[in-house]
Amino acid sequence: MATLTVSYPLTTDSTFDRDYYLSAHLPLAQAAWGEFGLQSAEVLFPASGPQPLAGMVILRFVDQAAIDAALSSPKTLEVLGDVAKFTNITPVIFRAND
């Protein structure tokens, strides 16, 4: 299994709409990448108090080739285009080894 994480680092002027993220963006990503081997998505939001991130998602794929296929698909443009609807934060993408 391979892991792709997407995090949203906080800045002083960050905005992040959790409701939109959970109800619209996450389902969009799951639909776009499911056919490429996305197996699960775990969303994490910060506990109270100062935190470095507005949120993070841990995406589990069958392997690195599945991540490559998902990210290079035309559907990824739709997923990336949706980001502006819930945040002004530039996401940070991290790949973990199998």
Tell me: the pLDDT tens digits for 33-82? 999 999 999 999 999 988 999 999 999 999 999 999 999 999 999 999 99
Angle CA 10–94–53, to nearest 5: 15
Q: Is 29 helix (H, G, I), strand (E, B) or coil?
A: helix
**For the chain, what are the domain ranges?**
2-96
| pTM over 0.75, yes/no | yes
Query: What is the model's pLDDT at position 69?
Result: 97
Residue 98 has pLDDT above 80, yes or no: no
Q: Which residues, 6+ apart, have CB-to-CB distance to 17 below 8 Å?
A: 85, 86, 87
What would the CATH number be for the domain defined by 2-96? 3.30.70.100
pLDDT band at 97 (very low <50, low <70, confident <90, very high): confident
Q: What is the DSSP letter of 90?
A: P
